[in-house]
A and B are shown apart, each in its own frame.
Chain A
Amino acid sequence: MTPDVALVGGPVAVSSWWPGVAVALPLVGVAAVSAGCLTDRWRVVALVVPAVAALAVALVLVGDVLAGRLPELFVLRMTPTLWMVLRVDAPGALYGATVAALGLLALVYSFGYVHRGPRWSRYFGFLMASLACTLGVAYAGNLLTFLIFYEAFSVLTYALVVHEQTPAAIRAGAKYIAYILVGGSLVLAGILLTYFLAGDLTFVAGGFLAADASHGQLLTAFWCFVAGFGVKAALVPLHGWVPDAHPAAPAPFSAVLSGVMVAAGAFGIMRVAFDVFGVTLVGALGVAPWLTAIAAVTVLVGALLALGQEDLKRRLAYSTISQMGYLTLAVSLLGAGVTAGALVHLVHHAFLKGTLFFCAGLWIHAGGVRRVGELRGMGARMPLTAAAFTLAALGMIGVPPLSGFVSKWWLGVGMLEVDAGIALAVLLAGALLAAGYLLPVVYAMYFAPSGTVAVRAGREAPATLLAPTLAAAALTIVFGLGSHYAGFPLQLAQVATAAWFGGG
Chain B
Amino acid sequence: MTGPWAEALPWVIALPLVGAALTPAVAVRRPRAAGFWAWGVLLVTAVLAAGLVSELLARGPFSYELGGWPAAYGIELRFDHFSAWVLPLALLFVVIVPFSWRYLDHVMPDERRPPFYALLLLNAGGMIGFCVTGDLFNLFVFTEVVSLSSYALVAVGGRGLAAFAALKYLFIGAVSSLLMLFATAQLFVLTGSLNMAEVSLRLAEVGGGTAVMVAFAAYAVSFMVKAAMFPVHVWLPDAHAIAPSPVSAVLSGMVVKVGIVGMLRVYQIYYGAEVLELGAFNLALVWLGAVSIVMGAFFAIFQDDIKLMLAYSTISNIGYIVLGLGLASPYAVIGASVHVFNHALIKATLFLAAGSIIHQTGFRTLSDLRGVARAMPQTSAAMAIGAVSIVGLPPTAGFVCKWYIALGAFEANQAPFGFALVFGALFIFIYYIRMLNAFYFQKPVHAAVAQASETPWSMRGPVVLLASLCLILGVLGGIPLTFVEPAVLDLLPLWGP
Contacts and interface: CB of A to CB of B under 8 A. Distances in A.
B433 A192 contact: no
B478 A189 contact: no
Interface stretch (A77-85, A252-260, A399-407, A458-466): A77-85
B403 A192 contact: yes
B299 interface: no
B293 to A, nearest CB: 14
Leading 9 A-B pairs by shortest Cβ distance: A148-B394, A196-B410, A148-B395, A185-B422, A192-B406, A76-B475, A189-B422, A151-B393, A162-B441
Contacts of B429: 181
Contacts of B423: 182, 185, 189
Given A165-B441, A192-B422, A80 B478 contact: yes
Could you say which of A159, A173, A196 has the most chain B C-beta atoms within 10 Å of its C-beta? A196
A79 B407 CA distance: 13
A195 B403 CA distance: 10
A174 B406 CA distance: 27
Nearest to A190: B422
Residue in B402, B437, B481 with the greatest tally of chain A CB atoms within 10 Å: B437
B334 to A, nearest CB: 10
A196 B409 CA distance: 10
Interface string B392-422: 0111000010110011001100000011001
B32 interface: no
A118 B371 CA distance: 12
B187 to A, nearest CB: 36
Nearest to B419: A189
Interface in B420-472: 422-423, 425-426, 429, 433, 437, 440-443
A53 interface: no
A193 interface: yes
B394 A144 contact: yes
Nearest to B430: A178
Contact of B394 (A151, A173, A182, A193): A151
Contact of B407 (A151, A170, A195): A195
B372 to A, nearest CB: 14
A19 to B, nearest CB: 16
A185 B433 contact: no
Contacts of A77: 476, 478
Nearest to B443: A165
Contact of A78 (B437, B442, B476): B476
24 contacts: A77-B476, A77-B478, A78-B475, A80-B481, A84-B395, A144-B394, A147-B394, A152-B394, A155-B388, A159-B441, A165-B441, A170-B437, A173-B437, A174-B433, A182-B423, A185-B423, A185-B426, A188-B406, A188-B422, A189-B418, A192-B403, A192-B406, A192-B422, A195-B407
A192 B410 contact: yes
Nearest to B388: A155
Given A80-B485, A151-B393, A165-B441, 5 more contacts: A78-B477, A144-B394, A165-B443, A184-B393, A195-B407
A72 B474 CA distance: 22
A238 interface: no
A76 B410 CA distance: 26
Contacts of B481: 79-80
Nearest to A196: B410
A192 B409 CA distance: 10
B374 interface: yes
Contact of B425 (A84, A165, A185): A185
A164 to B, nearest CB: 10
A144 B395 CA distance: 9
A152 B419 CA distance: 21
Contacts of A159: 440-441
Given A79-B477, A155-B393, A185-B426, A118 B437 contact: no
A364 interface: no
